[in-house]
Structure 1
Amino acid sequence: MADNKDKKVLNVPALRFPEFTEEWKRIKVSDLLDFYSTNSLSWEQLEYESNEPYNLHYGLIHVGLPTIIDLTKDKLPSIKDGNVPKKYELCKEGDIAFADASEDTNEVAKVVEFYNLDGKKVVCGLHTIHGRDNNKQTAKGFLGYCFSSTVFHYQIRRIAQGTKIYSINTRNFSEAFVGLPSKSEQHKIATLLKLIDERISTQNKIIEKLETLIKGIRDYVLNNKLQNTTKKKLGELCTITTGKLDANAMKSEGLYPFFTCAEDVYRIDSFAFDTEALLVSGNGANLGYIHYYKGKFNAYQRTYVLSNFIEDIHYIQIYLEAYLHKRIALEKSTSNTPYIVLATLAEMPIIIPSIKIQKDISNKILILKSKLITEIYIHNCYKDMRQFLLSQMFI
């Protein structure tokens, strides 16, 4: 690809295919798109059935759908009674739909494009803005990525209105611009990004299958293959303590891992532990999530640190991953933030087979977990690539 960052050329992206050299045209979104009325049907008025028309709810844009919708693969809910008032325009291929509201300014105007409707009737629903390029200035697939680009969302963040909930409306699009290259360049950009999205989707399926396989093997072994066992409390098998720090103690360039109650691992400048340990989230949305780490690290004050194991640490982690959430569901304390107390862990019964069986189980699971980590890394690389291209290939 050609890198145009240092060239004194107006109206071209920083990164583009080398065969294209002409400048892009800048156009107001309100001049590019015509807008149509949308319905306000709630989730309760929708269902996943085969009857038409289908309805695009804004919640699906935020969490459930790819940028490019292909109804041969993607699912939309249908309207229960099958009837939509005539004033609602049926979607056409190439139409786009924005989510008009979000608690996160980065998610306002999140967009999908109807790439392949598979002959189905679809209408845009609650908190969506339905747009169409009636002048045929854009290639199929381009608008979905253009309106997902970093430069477009910089504009939306300045325009969005609200305090706790941020929103936009069709009038705001007179203040936002996009860049349009030739249709052949649009097509090539859209094709590249669509291929990356398809690869990300494939990685998601690989990860889901591996997670299901790991869980299935783990549950089968723990429920059917443990013989000559003893039962001990977790507190008898290890030392249980907590970190001492606030979550905001993290330093982005710190030397050591910093474990909080999040799935992500952060960094910090100092360490309080130098050991092999399991780190268990003690509160919040990830209550009971377990990390394994060996070496120097630090921990948040509501993160439990389990160390000095007298049995195989990986077997104990596998056992906790299978059964800790059931125990938490029975014993967790709730307030604004759910949390577990020390006794929830210390008093938890653990079924202990021979050390040979423990290691045999943990070795097999660790091989699959290693494969899973690799696939997640590949997935994240594709996501980073996608985000980089969205930040560099548009104006």
Structure 2
Amino acid sequence: MTNSLWTTLKHLAVVQTGVTLSGEGDPSLPEWPYLRVANVQVGFVDLTEVKTLRLAEDAAASFTLKRGDVLMTEGGDIDKLGRGAIWHGEIANALHQNHVFAVRPGARLLPEFLVYWLDGPVARNYFRLTAKKTTNLAATNKWTLGNLPVACPPIEDQRRIVAYLDQQTAEIDTLIEEQQRLIDLLRERRESATRSVLLRGLDSGVPVRHSGSDLLGQIPSAWRLVPTRYLCTITTGGEDSGNASIDGKYPFYVRGREILRSDDYAFDGEAVMTPGDGQGGTGKVFHYFSGKFQAHQRVYVFTDFHGIDGRYFYYYLSTFLQPIALAGSNTVTMESLRRPLLAAFPVAVPPLEEQRKIVKYLDQQASKTDTLITEVRRFIELARERRAALITAAVTGQIDVREAA
């Protein structure tokens, strides 16, 4: 970078470590708000929930945040490690815990420039190489952070670079937000259309009747409302996630969204699966599969379908289990599902031939929507790559921001 001085972060800023939490603290001591890892996000500080601690005033002074501090977490996902968020003094006298670093730039370094530098290739590669890695997580420390290489241009050049990147990245971020809203809209439309077809069918002109369920409302007169226990067998898997095998031959359905692999199988046939509890998947995660597979001991497996198409049941269960079964229960929470509730879950059942037509229609619509979402995601990915390239070019002096402005 032209006119830049290569140095390390410790020569440009003070790296302040935070307070170590120890119990509830002495109730006679002053109470202070403090920031946790959960508060520090990439590029911003989330103040939705700010906790407090009790600490003597002289001790708190060592951990107090100042306006312009760049907050960084000690550990987390490798792609987020080493990225910063600027503290603007939103809360007076706020402290930070020991898993959050407060980097306090000196007179030669703008906080805004540092945040962009942390997004550039030198910093990203540095943290990838120096991080202590465990499964899916990475961590750094004060010494490593202090030795981060920084190409520091004169302060006026930093201001120009920041102003240029603020404008350019804001435009890209707005575009990304618009595309993300498009994805949300596509999903909402698909969900709305799916609910309508599963309660009204493909022919809007057929006679209807009340289903007997206030939550379901009207359904076609020729359809039946049948409890799940009369349509299939409800059982659970018998395996534990710890017995998964990376190179296993068979899919292994567990309590989360991820599908693992197993060396053996317990089921062979058409089935629908949903977790009974755990990992935020209850009432939200559903799988359809036909063939040999393994299932976790807390995953419900619906098999041996009679009078209902298995894939139709998959669409119906995944659409209505959460809003109908869980909303209608005073004893079941989103953290658990019980077999009696599933057995009594009412399904609107059309004639089999109509079920198959509905499944074909929903499969086609899902495929079209998924294709569109994939295209939008690719656009977002390219926009993010463009954003990263701009930051790289600006902070490393590959473009003259005075000419580009």
TM-score when scaled to structure 2?
0.59
* Equivalent runs, 1:1-395 vs 2, <5 Å: 27-33=7-13, 59-62=38-41, 67-68=42-43, 89-91=66-68, 96-99=70-73, 104=76, 111-113=83-85, 123=90, 127=96, 129=102, 131-132=104-105, 134-136=107-109, 142-146=116-120, 149=124, 151-152=126-127, 155=130, 157=132, 172=143, 175-178=146-149, 180=151, 201=177, 204-221=180-197, 222=199, 223=216, 226-228=219-221, 229-284=223-278, 285-288=280-283, 289-309=285-305, 310-325=307-322, 326-328=324-326, 330=329, 338-374=335-371, 379=377
Q: Is the 8 A contact 1:332 1:340 kept in 2?
A: no
1:311, CA displacement in angstroms? 1.2
Distance verdict in 2 for CA 1:299–1:231, change over 3 Å:
same
User: Is the 8 Å Cα contact of residues 13 and 105 (structure 2) preserved in structure 1?
Assistant: yes
**Residues 68 and 219 of structure 1: is their aligned pair in 2 closer, same or farther, counting only changes over 3 Å?**
same
Give 3-state SS (helix, strand or coil) of 1:226's partner.
strand
User: In structure 2, how many angstroms separate the alpha carbons of the residues matched to 1:111 and 1:203?
Assistant: 24
Cα deviation, residue 177, structure 1: 1.8
CA contact (8 A) 2:251 2:261 kept: yes
Question: Is this contact kept in 2: 1:29–1:177, CA < 8 A?
Answer: yes
One-letter identity of the residue aligned with 2:219: L
Measured on the aligned residues, the alpha-carbon RMSD in Å equals 5.2
For each residue in 1:67-105, what CA deviation from the matched residue of structure 2 results, as whole angstroms up to 9, or x when unmatched? 446xxxx997799xxxxxxx97544xxx743246x6x58
How far did 1:231 drift? 1.6
Name structure 1 gaps, 5 residues minimum.
1-19, 39-54, 80-86, 159-165
CA distance 1:281–1:36, change in 2 (3 Å) = closer
C-alpha distance in structure 1 between counterparts of 2:260 and 2:308, whole Å: 28
317 and 150 in structure 1: CA distance in 2 versus 1, 3 angstrom threshold: farther
Identity, % of aligned positions:
21
How much has 1:204 moved relative to structure 2?
Answer: 3.5
Residues 156 and 277 of structure 1: CA distance in aligned 2, closer, same or farther (over 3 Å) = same
Count of residue pairs brought into register by the alignment: 322
Q: Which runs of 5+ in 2 are unaligned?
A: 19-33, 51-63, 200-215, 396-405
Tell me the alpha carbon deviations over residues 229-258 of structure 1, each in whole angstroms, 9 at most, x when there is no partner.
212121211222222211112111222211
Distance (whole Å) between structure 2 residues aligned to residue 148 and residue 333 of structure 1? 48
Q: Give the corresponding residue for 1:8.
A: none
Q: 1:131–1:253: structure 2 CA closer, same or farther, 3 Å change rule?
A: farther
8 Å CA contact 2:190, 2:365 repeated in 1: yes
The secondary structure found in structure 2 opposite 1:350 is strand
Q: Distance in 2 between matches of 1:198 and 1:359?
A: 42
Answer with 368-377 or 264-273: which moved more.
368-377
| Contact residue 7 and residue 152 of structure 2 kept, 8 A | no
Residue by residue over 1:323-364, the C-alpha shift from the partner in whole angstroms, topping out at 9 and shown as x without a partner, is: 322424627668xx9433332222222122334543454444
Task: State how far apart, in whole Å, the 1-side matches of 2:352 and 2:145 are.
Answer: 69
Distance 1:174 1:281 in 2: 41
Q: CA deviation at 1:227?
A: 0.6
Q: Is the 8 A contact 1:155 1:176 kept in 2?
A: no
State which structure, 1 or 2, has the greater radius of gyration over its C-alpha atoms: 2
Q: Say which SS state the counterpart of residue 311 (structure 1) adopts.
A: coil
CA contact (8 A) 2:8 2:146 kept: yes
With over 3 angstroms needed to count, the CA separation of the structure-2 counterparts of 1:301 and 1:190, relative to structure 1, is farther
Deviates more, 1:198-207 or 1:297-306: 198-207
| Preserved CA contact (<8 Å) 1:108 1:167 | no
Contact 1:241 1:305 in 2 (8 A): yes
Partner amino acid, structure 1, of 2:288: Y
* Bigger shift: residues 308-317 or 358-367: 358-367
**Contact in 2 for aligned 1:270/1:298 (Cα 8 Å):** yes
User: Is the CA contact (8 Å cut-off) linking 2:274 and 2:286 kept in structure 1?
Assistant: yes
Q: Deviations over 1:142-194 (max 9, x none)?
A: 32414972632664648xxxxxxx9988x65664423549899x999999999
Q: Give the conservation status (yes or no) of the 8 Å contact 1:235–1:347.
A: yes
